[in-house]
Amino acid sequence: MERKRKLRKSVPDEDQEQEQEPSVRPFWSGTITFGLVSIPVNLYPANRESRVSLRMLGAGGEPLSREYYAPETGEDVESMETIRGYEVRKGKYVTITDEELERLAPEKSRDIDLRAFVKRDEIPPLYFKRAYFLTPADKSAKAYRLLAETMDRTKRAGIATFVMRGKEYLVAIFADRGILRANTLRFNDEIRTPRGVGLPEKREEPPKRMVRQFETAITRLTRKTLDPKELRDEYSEALLKLAEKKHARHKDVVETHAEGRPEKVVDLMEVLDAASDKTERKRNARREPVTKSNNI
């Protein structure tokens, strides 16, 4: 039997959870620590997704769902039946269990461990990932302002690590007019080199006449300041206007109805109970006699 084609999408990155709309409440709280200094802070996302989102539809206008799919067998796979694997060679995987991931996970901590201070311009923008605001917490406003003013005056940035949702992040902390902000950083092995993308190793000196032409062109477009309002997503704005205009004219508008294969109703308590029983069985299976230790 020929299997119906469905929309496929790779497994989402766990980091994508951080791309949700920021709320009034912080999604993480911790303490900046270095030396004898401890400053409680809250972490807020400084970015939000504003691009227009399009939904994939079928030929009849019905929304398409995203599912796990095994190409070799043509069967759908439930998320509860999946396991993780690392591809060591083409087509050859080593499976990794949840227990092994737990053992490798960094120690849970609420500290933002400030390990070093460097000049702000020494951190290449290529390493930046996501931006966050750090706000004072638990009556730490005075120490917070002191740190921000000192970093701003000395033009220093802090390099730190912290653990969130079982994963360790590398961040750069900056001070900007009395406000601390943090940027998560890519690790060094995530950065490609110019040579790795085929750029020439030797730089050729261009003709002086061409240099002057480029300098003149750059000077004409040079401004003293940058207005953030100019950093607009014109494509998304145009797309949104098009969608609203077509909707107002009742053009190309399709309505969907809950027909066809019914959605699976999930009992949350049943799932939690099943997961709890599974965890308890695993614990009992590997439980060993407890012995006293000098460390306890």
Cα distances (angstroms) measured from residue 116 to each of 32, 45, 290: 12, 23, 41
Strand partners, 184: 171
For the stretch 10-67, pLDDT in tens is 333 434 444 444 456 788 999 999 988 999 999 999 887 767 788 888 888 888 887 8
The answer to whether 140 and 40 are in contact (CB under 8 A) is: yes
Structure confidence at residue 261 (pLDDT): 52
Structure confidence at residue 147 (pLDDT): 95
Q: Give 121's contacts (C-beta < 8 A, 6+ positions apart).
A: none
The one-letter amino acid code at 120 reads R
From its phi and psi, is residue 222 left (phi > 0), alpha (psi between -120 and 50) or beta? beta
The secondary element (H helix, E strand) that includes residue 19 is: none
Q: What is the dihedral of CA 43, 41, 169, 23, to 10 degrees?
A: -10
The secondary element (H helix, E strand) that includes residue 285 is: helix 268-286
Structure confidence at residue 257 (pLDDT): 66
pLDDT higher than 60, residue 75: yes
Mean pLDDT value of segment 257-282: 51
What CATH number was assigned to the domain covering residues 19-52+107-196? 2.40.290.10
Structure confidence at residue 282 (pLDDT): 52
Q: Where do the structural domains in the chain lie, given as residue ranges?
A: 19-52+107-196
Structure tokens at 91: 């087509």
Structure confidence at residue 130 (pLDDT): 93
pLDDT bin (cut points 50, 70, 90) of residue 129 is very high
- Predicted TM-score (pTM) above 0.75: no
The answer to whether 80 and 275 are in contact (CB under 8 A) is: no
Structure confidence at residue 186 (pLDDT): 95
Mean pLDDT value of segment 248-277: 60
The secondary element (H helix, E strand) that includes residue 31 is: strand 28-34
Separation between Cα atoms, residue 182 and residue 174, nearest integer Å: 6
The one-letter amino acid code at 184 reads T
Separation between Cα atoms, residue 33 and residue 155, nearest integer Å: 19
pLDDT bin (cut points 50, 70, 90) of residue 253 is confident
Separation between Cα atoms, residue 175 and residue 185, nearest integer Å: 16
Mean pLDDT value of segment 130-154: 94
The one-letter amino acid code at 11 reads V
Other C-beta atoms within 10 Å of 128: how many?
Answer: 13
For the stretch 157-195, pLDDT in tens is 999 999 988 889 999 999 998 999 999 999 999 999 888
